[in-house]
């Protein structure tokens, strides 16, 4: 029997009695932000006197940064700056979820144990490259765990059958935790997250959802909120979702966040030449990109990018048509039609989408002088 949290076993019928009470015109707004680890999400809720119509109607707020690894206790107040608003699938309309940037006491982006406000610099880059209409789609892989941190559905103190039947699998012996996946999908659709699809992955208890296509800064906004919704849905079921790039040692697939990229030029007739130009530029900065493709400067991805289990080696850059063992994959259809997009397979599952999309946009679309202007 999997280890699940006690709170998930509380009587949900009792909860529903209270959730169905009227709000008398008031609105609950849940503020969401990235904490000082660069991976964790935090949230807290306040009441507004009426439903906000736009992000401009959401007031700034604050929190104790010393409790989220983002400040010292002697100067702990941090600003929450609302940037993106969604519907709340847990408490329902008119209530909202609001993604926030975090600013320090001096109203500068947070830099503490890690630089965690990558959104501010990403937004500058996306404004700079706006004319290219750059689109992203990110494929978020994750693994379901019990609260004991062992994969959900795996035999206690043992292992399931080897990989093979689980990818896009069906049946109780192949798909572990589908209820969570389907509830998360519905929550994303209700919230307004631009979710594209979902599927079971190669390792049992591992799943993937895709967000996009999103233009510019929207990619990071929508993926972070989709992650929040996943953690929140998992909380209701009493299990844990991990974005660890290699949650199980041995002959098991790791978890990535493959990033699909296209510009207007790439999507139009003859776009393959622009894809090839971008890939050439990415190859010259392979080491720089590896450093921003997980929160620990490549240390997490070392465990995943081994050259095995559908990955390229972290030490080498490669590209190929329909090759899932390469750094950059050109889909077969794109190779045939000579236009479309490319897939960067290097980002880890726990990457910051703002850092990833910024790095790709800078490398592929800006010259040295333009980069210096932004810095």
3 state DSSP class of 210 = strand
8-62: pLDDT as tens digits: 999 999 999 999 999 999 999 999 999 999 999 999 999 999 999 999 999 999 9
Give dist(CA 33, CA 36) in Å, integer: 10
pLDDT of residue 69: 86
CATH number 3.30.590.10 given to 127-374: yes
Q: Taking residues 117-122, what's their average pLDDT? A: 90
201-245: pLDDT as tens digits: 999 999 999 999 999 999 999 999 999 999 999 999 999 999 999
pLDDT of residue 244: 98
pLDDT, averaged across the chain: 94
Confidence band of 168 (pLDDT split at 50, 70, 90): very high
- The fraction of the chain above a pLDDT of 90, given in percent, is 87
SS3 string of 127-194? Answer: HHCHHHCCEEEEEEEEEEECCCCCECCCCCCCCCCCCCCCCCCCCCCCCCCHHHHHHHHHHHHHHCCC
pLDDT of residue 113: 40
pLDDT of residue 3: 81
Q: Taking residues 65-86, what's their average pLDDT? A: 87
For 154-174, b where at least 16 C-beta lie within 10 A, e where not — what string? Answer: beeeeebeebebbbebeeeeb
Half-sphere exposure of 132 (CA within 13 A, CB side): 23
Instruction: Report the candidate in 328, 331, 362 with the shortest Cα–Cα distance to residue 345.
Output: 328
Domains of the chain by residue range: 6-116, 127-374
Confidence band of 194 (pLDDT split at 50, 70, 90): very high
Confidence band of 116 (pLDDT split at 50, 70, 90): low
Instruction: Look up residue 105 and give its DSSP letter.
Output: T
Confidence band of 75 (pLDDT split at 50, 70, 90): confident
- The fraction of the chain above a pLDDT of 70, given in percent, is 97
Q: Taking residues 109-119, what's their average pLDDT? A: 64
pLDDT of residue 2: 52
Topology alike, domains 6-116 and 127-374 = no
310-343: pLDDT as tens digits: 999 999 999 999 888 899 999 999 999 999 999 9
pLDDT of residue 318: 95
Question: Is the bond preceding residue 94 a cis peptide, omega within 30 degrees?
Answer: yes
Q: Taking residues 341-349, what's their average pLDDT? A: 97
pLDDT of residue 74: 66
Give dist(CA 198, CA 230) in Å, integer: 12
CATH number 3.40.50.300 given to 6-116: no
Q: Taking residues 89-110, what's their average pLDDT? A: 90
Instruction: Look up residue 247 and give its DSSP letter.
Output: S
Give dist(CA 115, CA 50) in Å, integer: 35
Q: Taking residues 124-141, what's their average pLDDT? A: 97
Q: Taking residues 276-292, what's their average pLDDT? A: 97
């Amino acid at each position: 029997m999997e280890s699940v949290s006690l709170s998930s076993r509380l009587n949900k019928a009792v909860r529903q009695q209270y959730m169905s009470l009227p709000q008398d015109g008031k609105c609950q707004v849940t503020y969401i932000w990235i904490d000082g680890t660069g991976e964790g999400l935090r949230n807290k809720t306040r009441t507004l006197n009426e439903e906000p119509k736009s992000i401009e109607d959401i007031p700034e707020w604050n929190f104790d940064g010393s409790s989220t690894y983002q400040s010292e206790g002697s100067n702990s107040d941090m600003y929450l700056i609302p940037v993106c608003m969604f519907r709340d699938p847990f408490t329902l309309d008119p209530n909202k979820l609001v993604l926030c940037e975090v600013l320090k006491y001096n109203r500068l982006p947070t830099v503490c144990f890690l630089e965690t406000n990558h959104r501010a610099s990403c937004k500058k880059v996306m404004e700079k490259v706006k004319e290219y209409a750059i689109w992203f789609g990110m494929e978020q892989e994750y693994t379901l765990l019990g609260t004991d941190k062992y994969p959900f559905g795996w035999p206690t103190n043992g292992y399931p059958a080897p990989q093979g039947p689980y990818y896009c699998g069906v049946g109780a012996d192949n798909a572990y935790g589908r209820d969570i996946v389907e509830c998360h999908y519905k929550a994303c659709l209700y919230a307004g997250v631009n979710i594209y699809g979902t599927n079971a992955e190669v390792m049992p208890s591992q799943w993937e959802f895709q967000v996009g296509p999103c233009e510019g800064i929207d990619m990071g906004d929508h993926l972070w909120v989709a992650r929040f919704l996943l953690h929140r849905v998992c909380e209701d079921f009493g299990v844990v979702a991990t974005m660890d790039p290699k949650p199980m040692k041995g002959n098991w697939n790791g978890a990535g966040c493959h990033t699909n990229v296209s510009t207007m030029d790439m999507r139009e007739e003859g776009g393959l030449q622009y894809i090839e130009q971008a890939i050439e530029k990415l190859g010259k900065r392979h080491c720089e990109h590896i450093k921003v493709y997980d929160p620990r400067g490549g240390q997490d991805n070392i465990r995943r990018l081994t050259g095995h289990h559908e990955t390229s080696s972290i030490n080498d850059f490669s590209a190929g048509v329909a090759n899932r063992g390469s750094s950059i994959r050109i889909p077969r259809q794109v190779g045939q039609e000579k236009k479309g997009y490319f897939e960067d397979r290097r980002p880890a599952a726990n990457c910051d989408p703002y850092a990833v999309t910024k790095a790709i946009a800078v490398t592929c679309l800006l010259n040295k002088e333009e980069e210096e202007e932004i810095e």
